[in-house]
Structure 1
Amino acid sequence: MVQTLAAAGELQRDLQRELTYDGLRAAAAKGNKGGRRPAVTAAKAAAVRAAYLGGRSIARLARDHDVSRGAIRTAVADLLPEHTDDHPGTPAPETAVTLDMPGKVADFLRAAELEPAERDALDQGVTVRRGQGYTLRVSAVPAVHRGLLARCQPLDGGHGAPAVPAQRKARREYENRVSTLASTGP
């Protein structure tokens, strides 16, 4: 008796599974896609992808668009480094790296003429108080960090300008941090 009831239950389950799959296949044939709708709409996706390629972090984009970090990762999934490994020959986009920039270097760069990506990186930096001074925590792709380092060369002196030891030391400290990117980065 119990075996008969178990067999009838198994038959019912199999029939229900088949009917479900038939319904899903019919919906797919009509062009319907199952699942939850993406939190980042198609209209926002282009802006999110451009900002990510510009060096914005996933967490920052999630805060800006008021969605979860997972939603942002879904929108930029094909740009993430682990996705590009699946496609040989596709160059991996540079990912944003966070470095601490000494305050003396940040003050000098704020007064200098910068490229838009460099200016954005400085403007989005987070100030961290350090004793009497501060450090600017900057998230940007390594190329932007290298560009900022190149623009603060006058802090070493030369070209008729005397070098200020504290500024020279701060620039070299930032240079050491950027040089670690060159050895480990793309």
Structure 2
Amino acid sequence: MRLADAARRALDGAGARKVPEDLSALLADAGLADVGEGQAVAADASLALDVPGLTAEQLRDTEDQTVRETFAAGRTVRRGQGCSVRVMAPLSIHQAALDLCAGLAAEGAAPAGRKAYRVYADRTTTASATA
């Protein structure tokens, strides 16, 4: 009993047990946006995805400066014959990059380009479903 009383007094002294009436300030500090009806959505968190080398090469030369800088800062990972680039970026950047490299999946594109686009699209879709 004494330990529980001591813990309770310590929490009360630090003000840790006080909850404000309006929780929006706490949600904003934690990186959460208030959606309404008691639900909160996490901010666009960064995640690491392995992007096929062919896709990454095309995105390093794109006109979008944010995507270009993100992919230039990626880390090259060699596997077998090809390579991947591990990119740490918010999901919105990955989705924008996927839109920019849609030409790889266009009709008349090389089979390697179509596969690289498909692999990156699958990884982005899986990441958005789990996020």
Q: TM-score range by the shorter chain?
A: 0.5 to 0.7
Instruction: Give the letter for the 1:173 counterpart.
Output: V
1:143 is matched with which residue: 75, 86, 92? 92
In the alignment, which residue of structure 2 is the partner of 1:168? 114
Offset of residue 156 of structure 1: 1.2
| Higher share of residues assigned helix | 1
1:122 is matched with which residue: 62, 71, 82? 71
Equivalent runs, 1:67-82 vs 2, <5 Å: 78-80=29-31
In the alignment, which residue of structure 2 is the partner of 1:102? 52
Q: Which has the higher contact order (CA 8 A, sep 6+)?
A: 2
Q: Indicate if the aligned counterparts of 2:75 and 2:87 stay in contact, CA closer than 8 A.
A: yes
Residue 127 (structure 2) pairs with residue 177 (structure 1): no
Offset of residue 89 of structure 1: 6.3
Equivalent runs, 1:1-186 vs 2, <5 Å: 78-80=29-31, 91-114=41-64, 116-158=65-107, 162-185=108-131
Q: Measure, in 1, the Cα distance between the counterparts of 2:46 and 2:60.
A: 20
Runs of 4+ in structure 1 off by over 6 angstroms are none
Offset of residue 79 of structure 1: 4.3
Larger Rg: 1
- TM-score for the superposition, normalised by structure 2: 0.67
Q: Per-residue displacement from partner, 1:95-137 (whole Å, max 9, x unpaired)?
A: 10100000010111122222x3212211221111112221000
Structure 1 portions without partners, runs of 5+: 1-77
Instruction: Give the letter for the 1:128 counterpart.
Output: V
Q: Indicate if the aligned counterparts of 1:125 and 1:137 stay in contact, CA closer than 8 A.
A: yes
**Paired residue total:** 101
Instruction: Give the letter for the 1:152 counterpart.
Output: C
Q: Measure, in 1, the Cα distance between the counterparts of 2:30 and 2:78.
A: 34
Does the residue aligned with 1:118 lie in a helix, a strand or coil?
Answer: helix
Does the residue aligned with 2:88 lie in a helix, a strand or coil?
Answer: strand
- TM-score for the superposition, normalised by structure 1: 0.49
Does the residue aligned with 1:112 lie in a helix, a strand or coil?
Answer: coil
Q: Indicate if the aligned counterparts of 1:79 and 1:93 stay in contact, CA closer than 8 A.
A: no
In the alignment, which residue of structure 2 is the partner of 1:52? none
Q: Measure, in 2, the Cα distance between the counterparts of 1:93 and 1:184.
A: 14
Identity, % of aligned positions = 38
Q: Measure, in 1, the Cα distance between the counterparts of 2:73 and 2:60.
A: 12
